[in-house]
Amino acid sequence: MSDRRSFPKPQSGMVVPRFGGIATFMRLPAFTDPADLDIGLVGVPWDGGTTNRPGARHGPRQMRDMSTLMRRVHHVSGIEPYTLARIGDLGDTSVNPASVDDSLTRIETFYAKLHKAGVVPLSAGGDHLVTLPILRAIARRRPLGMVHFDAHSDTWDTYFGGYKYTHGTPFRRAIEEGLLDPKRIVQIGIRGSLYGNADMAWAYDQGIRVITIEEYFDLGVDKVIEEARRVVGDGATYVSFDVDGLDPVFAPGTGTPEIGGYSTHEAQRMIRGLRGLDLVGADVVEVSPPFDPSGNTALVGVTMMWELMCLLAECVAKRRARPAAKRQRFARRNKRNV
């Protein structure tokens, strides 16, 4: 299915209607060799870190299905991602439903291969723990900044008497491992009752900029964008979009719904507001099909992927335009991988 020379294009809905054909992300060709691509769309069908309602393992497939509704040009920015970057579907990572540790290794291995090939990953979870092995693969060299859309800070320490790897802990681990720079993290939409008053203390102590949903509504979207851009600055930045940051009416198919979030329109505006940042990867997580068989949550998720893909494609095109820097990047990477 691959085409190394030209930029892959999605199958047109005017030729094969949107309900037809094998469902790949955005109706793009499937690839197995990352070298064919600039941006790799990847599924991580795993929910072994889920502490309450499971099902996000089924997310990538339903998101592929709903992604056939996406088209080619962004209606606001005018970005045409498929003319800016080689983008394709790299399939799903290997996972092990019977082991958290083995799964974390398998996922990291998959992304390490992508990273080595210079591919920018845009991922569909899976639960939020999958972001940890992705970061392990792409942020070993230097800590990244992060724009984090979520109802939960996901910086808890342990669960169930000392267990360190759940979908409530990835960013604690990532900061501890030096994968994220806490001072360049902004979390948007945090809310919901707490286990204890100290729950958020660690996050605040690390210098994370937490924008609770209450502050979000008080500031308004434009100020929130401004603040997010200020926090992450010019450095390399990752975007992690947990659909439970949205109000559950927009994303009922998720494991840990918290009522009272932002709308999809607001989320779209926030993502668009990140245009021009130095983005090195992104994910959309916690779409859980068994809790929304209608597919509407998956449609929301893939539309966010579409919004993020437009930004990532611009970043790829911009980097390509800087050949020297690119060469340096390759040099650095090769050194790193020796």
Does residue number 74 form part of the binding site for a second copy (CB under 8 A)? yes
Q: Is 244 annotated as a binding residue?
A: yes
Q: Is 128 annotated as a binding residue?
A: yes
Supply 336's token pair: 């790193």
235 or 290: CB nearest a second copy: 290
Supply 164's token pair: 């360190």
Letters for 251-290 (x = contact with a second copy by CB under 8 A, - = none) are -x---xx-xxx-xxx--x---------------------x
- Residues binding a second copy: number (CB under 8 A): 98
Pick the piece of the chain touching a second copy (CB under 8 A) from 64-72, 275-283, 313-321, 323-331.
64-72
39 or 280: CB nearest a second copy: 39
Q: Of 178, 194, 233, 327, which lies in the binding site for a second copy, with binding defined by CB under 8 A?
A: 194
Does residue number 96 form part of the binding site for a second copy (CB under 8 A)? yes
Does residue number 109 form part of the binding site for a second copy (CB under 8 A)? no
Residues within window 11-30 making contact with a second copy, judged by CB under 8 A: 12-24, 30
Q: Is 152 annotated as a binding residue?
A: yes
Q: Of 34, 55, 88, 245, which lies in the binding site for a second copy, with binding defined by CB under 8 A?
A: 55
Q: Of 9, 91, 273, 317, which lies in the binding site for a second copy, with binding defined by CB under 8 A?
A: 91
Distance of CA 66 to CAs 37, 151, 202, 334, Å? Answer: 22, 24, 38, 38
Taking a C-beta distance cutoff of 8 angstroms, is the pair 338, 147 a contact? no
* Nearest residue to 149 (alpha-carbon basis) of 191, 188, 184: 188
Tell me how far apart the alpha carbons of residues 225 and 218 are, in angstroms, rounded to a whole number. Answer: 13
Element (H, E) at 149: strand 144-149
Does residue number 189 form part of the binding site for a second copy (CB under 8 A)? no
Tell me how far apart the alpha carbons of residues 113 and 17 are, in angstroms, rounded to a whole number. Answer: 34
Supply 178's token pair: 């030096």
Tell me how far apart the alpha carbons of residues 248 and 331 are, in angstroms, rounded to a whole number. Answer: 45
**Range 105-119 burial, b when 16+ CB lie within 10 A, else e:** ebbbebbbbbbeebb
Does residue number 97 form part of the binding site for a second copy (CB under 8 A)? yes
Q: Is 242 annotated as a binding residue?
A: yes
Residues within window 238-257 making contact with a second copy, judged by CB under 8 A: 247-250, 252, 256-257
**Residues β-bridged to residue 210:** 187
Q: Compute the C-alpha angle 320/311/26, nearest 5°.
A: 100
DSSP-assigned letter for residue 247: -
Does residue number 45 form part of the binding site for a second copy (CB under 8 A)? yes
Does residue number 52 form part of the binding site for a second copy (CB under 8 A)? yes
Q: Of 109, 296, 317, 333, which lies in the binding site for a second copy, with binding defined by CB under 8 A?
A: 296
Residues within window 213-242 making contact with a second copy, judged by CB under 8 A: 213-214, 217
Distance of CA 230 to CAs 143, 242, 269, Å? Answer: 17, 21, 17
Residues within window 140-179 making contact with a second copy, judged by CB under 8 A: 159-161, 163, 165-166
Binding site feature residues for Mn(2+): 128, 150, 152, 154, 242, 244
